[in-house]
Amino acid sequence: MNATTTTSTRPRLPTKLLLLAAALIAAVGFLVWTGTQGATVYYHTVGEVRGMGSEAYYRLIRVNGIVADGSIQSATDSNLISFDLQDDSGRLPVEYRGTPPDLFGYSSEDRYQEVIVEGQLEPSGAFRARSLIVKHGPEFEPREIPAQ
């Protein structure tokens, strides 16, 4: 045995690092794959909810879609709002009781409004939303100053 003071020893870990890299790559691949598998989704599409049939009834789910043009109706004597949620695969009538977000119902000629509703589908076919969330995309535009 021999102990001397020289430079420090350095641990080595080559094969193990390859192992680690392989595991991480596999993990990332898997996460991307599950992202397309529908098991982990944050929201469903209108078509998916329609496809679930009676399975979807009385289950807390989130549905994403576009507010159909001109479909928003608000009751005058209560805070009930109803509108149609629409995407490529169909329409879903939604009822929401409460104060909507400020940006809900913001209309413009070239832009449709995307929302997520969280609630339950009833056998009548209406979706009773307990929360209404306005989705906003990654696009930003300057506000045009109206000409005086």
Partner 1 sequence: MVRLGQRNVLRGLSLALAPGERLAVVGPNGAGKTTLIRALAGLIRPRRGHVSLRGSRGPDEPAARAGLGFLGHRPSLYPHLSARENLAFAARLHGTTDAARIEAALEVVGLAADANRLVRDYSRGMQQRLGLALALLPEPDVVLLDEPDASLDAAGVDDLPVMIDALAPRAAVLFSTHDERVAEALGARVVRLAAGRLTEDPREAPAPKPPPLQALPLPRPPGFARAVRAMIAKDARVEWRAREQVPTLLMFTLLAAVVFDMAFIAALGSEVAAVAVGVLWISVLLAATLAGTRLFTTEFERGTLDGLLVAPVDPSGIYLAKFALLAIETAFVGVAQLIFLSLLLNVSLFQASTIGAVLLAAAAISAILALQSSLVVNARAREMLMPLLAIPPAVPVLLAGVGITLGALEVTPAGQQGAWFGLLAVVAVVFLTLGTVLYPQAARA
Partner 2 sequence: MRQAQTTELPRPRRLAALREPANAVLYAALLLSMGLALFMAFVFAPAERVQAEIYRLLFVHVPSAWLAFAAFGVVAVGSVMFLVRGKSRWDRLAHASAEIGVLFTTLCLVTGSIWGRSVWGVWWQWDPRLTTTLIMWFIYVSYLALRSYIDDPNARQRMSSVVGIVGVVSVPIVWFSVEWWRSLHPTPSVTNPGGGMPPEMLTTLLVSVAAFTVFYVVLLRQRMQLELAVAELGSLRERLYERNEESA
Binding site for partner 2 (CB under 8 A): 8, 10-11, 24, 27-28, 31-32, 35, 40-43, 64, 100-104, 106, 108, 111, 116, 131-144
Tokens coding 127: 């979706």
Residue 80 makes contact with partner 1 by CB under 8 A: no
Residue 32 makes contact with partner 1 by CB under 8 A: no
Taking a C-beta distance cutoff of 8 angstroms, is the pair 114, 105 a contact? no
Amino acid symbol at 89: S
Phi, psi of 15 (to 5 degrees): -65, -35
Closest among 63, 28, 66, 22 to 44, alpha carbons compared: 63
Tokens coding 98: 């409460």
Residue 39 makes contact with partner 1 by CB under 8 A: yes
Tokens coding 74: 């608000």
Judged by CB, which is closer to partner 2: 33, or 77?
33
Sites of contact with partner 1 (CB under 8 A): 1-9, 11, 13, 16-17, 19-20, 22-24, 26-27, 30-31, 33-34, 37-40, 52, 55, 59
